[in-house]
Structure 1
Amino acid sequence: MVTLIILFIVLVLALLILPFSKALMKDKQDLRQSPIEVRFKVLIDEINKAFLDGKGTTVYPVKNDNRWLNLHSDDRANYLFQFNYSTGHLTVYLHYKYLQKELNANVPFYNVRDVDIFTQKRMANEFIQKMRVAIMKHQETIGIPGQSGPIPSQFMDDEDDPIDMVSSMYGDLSMHQKKSIINMGYLIFSANGSSWNDFVSYGPTRQQLNFLNLNWKDCQQQLNSEGENIIHTDLKELEDGVYDSLLMFWLSMVVTETGPDDNRAEKFLSMNERLGHSEQDVEQRVQKIQAMMNFFGQ
């Protein structure tokens, strides 16, 4: 009996440790081919400009460990930024001193092995905005705000920034709703038998996960525990602009290398119908979106 228990424990540990170890090995390969300052150059440059007037320099603080990168400037010595890349995720840390009191805050970004310039700018925008709020609150709890140097200009709202405009579109959605967006995409994608791994490896999925800053495993857990019906409850009364944007993501799930898949198309239409949108309504919306994209040269 004791032997069986030991074997069971070993098996469970193996199931937990092996995927993690593989992810770490993948990290080493990623960083060997493209170190943090190259892989996330746009993100780092945006943070550098926002907080350090572009004068910050990068250094690896831990010898023989390229998973950590520091960004610092002698001119703004009360700011220290750290970037930690692990198992395909990136966490950006801020260490900020104000009147000898230190603020420590961070923002995690999931599934960022492959990120484009647009996604990195969105990540930078999110980090900058969140740190703006954190710094202001930190200053207010200590004394008169604004005495530790000017607040970065990028902290100010820019209504003309397209990334801000798109991000604000999803600003009122709950985390639960965001996971349902991904899960609806998965149910459409898997209608022909495709797996979660296939779904997560698909380009539009990776982009949407990055944009919503979600870990796909959290989405999978929600779907497994609550089922499909919760998706329709979450997404049934979306605003038209939000729905139209998501419609193109879900529509992309229908496509395969050889063209549209009938099973996926059927699932796409049936799930949208449960959200209150008939096939005719969906078709009209897609045509309108495509016309706008053609007009703007997309």
Structure 2
Amino acid sequence: MTTTLIVLLIITLLAMIVLPFSRSLMKDRSELHENPMEKKFNILITRINDLLMDGKGEVVKFKDDPRMLNLFDDNHANMIINFYYSTGSLAITLKYKYYHVELVKKMQFDNMRQAETFRQQDVANHFCEESSIAIRQHQTKINKERGLKDSAEEYIFSSQPSAQSSENPVDLVRGMYDTFSHDEKLAWVNVAQMVYTADGSSINDFKNHPQLSDLLLNFQVNYSEAEKQRNQIGESGIISILDNGKGGDLIMKLMPIFPFVLDQVGPNEDRIEKFYSIFGRLGVSQEKIDNELEKMMLLMQHFGMS
């Protein structure tokens, strides 16, 4: 009797695990039959292609498995990116060889069945940023092991700007920063750090802030460049660059910085004080900032960003 109960219990537990998984797999097949992976994740794949392969990668499909595809480019023959979609999750794996030593970087993103524009952009940006760091560390390690000069550089950004779509709100926002000079973009990254660390938070905390990756990718700059600028000219030099800058309306200067004012419960008093102080040094009153922030919130609602 006891043995029978144990067997029944095992069968029940297996059914509870296997049946939902099987249903998810069936849902995958049905979903990808109507909307193949390269179309379902077109925004995500295009973004990764632009950032890691200069937009020259080609999609390679697997006839025996519609849930998988590769991104490959003959000009980057030492790199291949694999996408695998299963039960609503998307696994992206970078395989990169440097002096015949392979790096494997894998990331999994859940809840991707209904991944719309912003979600796909965020996933692509996150993956590319993490991959760039991993590639550089891999290059540095191999160079050191071989006694070579460390010539590793930031890998992530294509020399060719991504084609922008007038119908894509992400591209619209990114295109608004085109009027900023390169030095201005670096300076605004440093302003974000100054604001965020005003309450005593560490630079490492700032570097791990989830919004920093988007900020760097929207500006198309690398954090190491901003760090170099900050070390060379300090806060006063950064303010001077922005004071003499010509790029962007006020709202476009507030948008990338304001997220770094917030902590887990809302605006942080020390950060908001630093925020107002920096803009005050640029000749912008607190009243004007508050008015523009109100407009910014309306803009975000219009684009479905809040």
TM-score of Structure 1 vs Structure 2, range by shorter chain? 0.5 to 0.7
TM-aligned CA distance change 1:171 to 1:108, over 3 Å: farther
Aligned residues: 188
Distance 2:6 2:91 in 1: 37
Q: Which amino acid aligns with 1:122?
A: D
The aligned residue for residue 151 of structure 1 is 155
Equivalent pair of 1:128/1:154 in contact (CA under 8 Å)? no
CA RMSD of aligned residues (A): 3.8
Equivalent pair of 2:90/2:112 in contact (CA under 8 Å)? yes
Distance 1:35 1:142 in 2: 38
Equivalent pair of 2:81/2:93 in contact (CA under 8 Å)? yes
The aligned residue for residue 282 of structure 2 is none
Once the two structures are superposed, residues 9-62 of structure 1 have per-residue CA deviations (whole angstroms, 9 ceiling, x without a partner) of 00010011111111111111111111111011111111111122211111124x
TM-aligned CA distance change 1:141 to 1:64, over 3 Å: same
Structure 1 window deviating more from structure 2 (23-32 vs 94-103): it is: 23-32
1:28-39 to 2 correspondence within 5 Å?
28-39=29-40
Equivalent pair of 2:60/2:71 in contact (CA under 8 Å)? yes
Equivalent pair of 2:24/2:87 in contact (CA under 8 Å)? yes
TM-aligned CA distance change 1:109 to 1:239, over 3 Å: farther
Distance 1:36 1:114 in 2: 13
The aligned residue for residue 93 of structure 2 is 93
Q: Which amino acid aligns with 1:112?
A: M
What is the DSSP-based 3-state SS (H/G/I as helix, E as strand, rest coil) of the residue aligned with 1:153?
coil
Q: Which amino acid aligns with 1:31?
A: L
Equivalent pair of 1:92/1:106 in contact (CA under 8 Å)? yes
TM-aligned CA distance change 1:58 to 1:239, over 3 Å: same
Q: Does 1:77 align with 2:80?
A: no
Distance 2:11 2:118 in 1: 44
Equivalent pair of 1:82/1:94 in contact (CA under 8 Å)? yes
Q: Does 1:294 align with 2:298?
A: yes
Equivalent pair of 2:46/2:55 in contact (CA under 8 Å)? yes
Q: Which amino acid aligns with 1:41?
A: N
TM-aligned CA distance change 1:295 to 1:81, over 3 Å: closer
The aligned residue for residue 106 of structure 1 is 106
TM-aligned CA distance change 1:296 to 1:85, over 3 Å: closer
| Structure 2, gaps ≥5 residues long | 144-148, 160-172, 177-188, 197-205, 211-262, 272-290
TM-aligned CA distance change 1:36 to 1:151, over 3 Å: same
Percent identity reads 35
Equivalent pair of 2:21/2:87 in contact (CA under 8 Å)? yes
Q: CA deviation at 1:239?
A: 3.5
TM-aligned CA distance change 1:44 to 1:14, over 3 Å: same
TM-score by length of 2: 0.53
Q: Does 1:64 align with 2:72?
A: no
Equivalent pair of 1:60/1:70 in contact (CA under 8 Å)? yes
Equivalent pair of 2:136/2:154 in contact (CA under 8 Å)? no
